[in-house]
Amino acid sequence: MRVNFTIEGSPVGKARPRVTRTVTYTPAKTARYEDLVRYTAINSFKGMLDKDEPVDVKIMAYFEVPKSYSKKRKALCLSNQELPTKKPDADNIGKIIMDGMNPKMKRNKVVHKMMQLVRGIYHDDKQVTSLLVKKRYSEYPRVEVTVERDKGK
């Protein structure tokens, strides 16, 4: 079993939760991107992985080469001789992608339990036993994700 999908557009990192006096919430940009990841992932994979199945996730984040770069520097970037060392951080890209593949949950105030609104690829990102996140330059910004069973090698 293997799931491959691509999220078009510039990579987005997971933002810190915002806190008011009474409520902690996820910023809107982060929530929208997680929804985009979830939508793309479930349209690429019709099933759901078993609850205790270990998963291997590979994430390739491609950034657009800045327009201010010279032709020579742009060629270095596109040949992977110069790598992106800019925000978002690789760990924040990994977090937003993995959280986006989780089911979307909401607390039901009547029964005081979490209810699943939209399914995900797996039950929880704790199933991820191996994670690889790479940042590269490309003419077309995107994030490519591969999810497969971890064979334990």
Residues 25, 17: contact at Cβ < 8 Å? yes
Give me the pLDDT at residue 153, please.
59
Give me the pLDDT at residue 48, please.
66
Give me the pLDDT at residue 5, please.
92
Give me the pLDDT at residue 141, please.
94
Give me the pLDDT at residue 138, please.
93
The low-confidence residues of the chain, meaning pLDDT below 70, are 47-49, 153
Give me the pLDDT at residue 133, please.
95
